[in-house]
């Protein structure tokens, strides 16, 4: 249900059924009317929790808690921008499909960051400066990150021709988030890492 008219129609149908002697109204429209808001709230809360916990775990694995904000910024910004793009996709309405797309995209984005950090610290162990290590990570891990994003885009592109709006929305949001995450990982993450004195 994507607009207020659909919600109003379900409410009128329920009222008519109750006036006609129904004890309880069942069916997918009723379930979606009652449960969709709760489902979206639960999924949104889970997305926030997973974003924080996953970023924290990655920072701890690399033995630097100070990496938490450095990782959080380039991985959450794509989600925020894609969420804002819902005004273009779906009139600004958040749906379970949209939150699910954002959650999956975050997992892939943080995976790209892990690849980048792995190469960054590999260079740091060889004695490279933070700036040189960031350049090395961009040149090596960056190629894999771009290839992964291109392949996923081709795989998800088929959803863009779907006539079923939730599938179309899912694919479009995934593709947009993946490309935004790639841009932030290749431009913002190196700048944040290179600017740290004790990376």
Residue among 184, 183, 189 nearest 133 (CA): 189
Q: Where are the domains of the chain?
A: 36-194
Percent of the chain with pLDDT over 90: 48
Q: CB of 55 within 8 A of CB of 72?
A: yes
Q: Is the pLDDT of residue 193 over 80?
A: yes
pTM of the model: 0.79
**What six digits make up the tokens of 23?**
């004890």
Q: What is the residue-averaged pLDDT of the chain?
A: 85
Nearest CA among 168, 141, 144 for reference residue 156: 168
pLDDT exceeds 90 at position 175: yes
Cα–Cα distance for residue pair 95/103, rounded to 1 Å: 13
Residue 49: HSE in the Cβ half-sphere, 13 Å Cα cutoff = 6
Residue 40 has a pLDDT of 80
For residues 139-143, give the mean pLDDT: 92
Whether residue 114 contacts residue 57, with contact meaning beta carbons closer than 8 Å, is answered with no
pLDDT in tens, 8-60: 777 777 777 777 776 666 666 666 666 777 778 888 888 899 999 999 999 99
Contact 176, 104 (CB under 8 A): no
Cβ(184)–Cβ(74) under 8 Å? Answer: yes
Share of the chain residues as helix, strand and coil, in percent rounded to the nearest 5: 80, 0, 20
For residues 91-107, give the mean pLDDT.
84
CB count, 10 Å around CB of 174?
22
Q: Topology of 36-194 in CATH?
A: Multidrug efflux transporter AcrB transmembrane fold (1.20.1640)
Predicted confidence at residue 31, as pLDDT, reads: 63
């Amino acid at each position: 249900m994507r607009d207020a008219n659909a919600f109003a129609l379900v409410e009128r149908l329920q009222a008519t059924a109750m006036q006609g002697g129904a004890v309880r109204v069942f069916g997918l429209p009723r379930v979606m009317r009652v449960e969709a808001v709760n489902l979206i709230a639960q999924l949104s809360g889970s997305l926030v929790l997973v974003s924080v916990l996953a970023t924290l775990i990655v920072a701890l694995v690399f033995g630097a808690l100070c990496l938490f904000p450095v990782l959080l910024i380039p991985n959450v910004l794509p989600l925020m921008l894609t969420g804002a793009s819902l005004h273009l996709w779906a009139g600004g309405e958040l749906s379970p499909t949209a939150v699910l797309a954002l959650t999956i995209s975050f997992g892939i984005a943080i995976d790209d960051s892990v690849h980048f950090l792995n190469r960054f610290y590999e260079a740091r162990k060889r004695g490279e400066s933070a700036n040189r290590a960031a350049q090395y990570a961009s040149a090596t891990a960056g190629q894999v990150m771009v290839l992964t994003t291109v392949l996923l885009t081709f795989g998800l592109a088929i959803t863009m021709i779907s006539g079923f709006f939730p599938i179309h929305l899912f694919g479009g949001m995934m593709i947009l988030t993946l490309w935004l995450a790639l841009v932030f990982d290749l431009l913002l993450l190196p700048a944040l890492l290179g600017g740290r004195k004790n990376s």
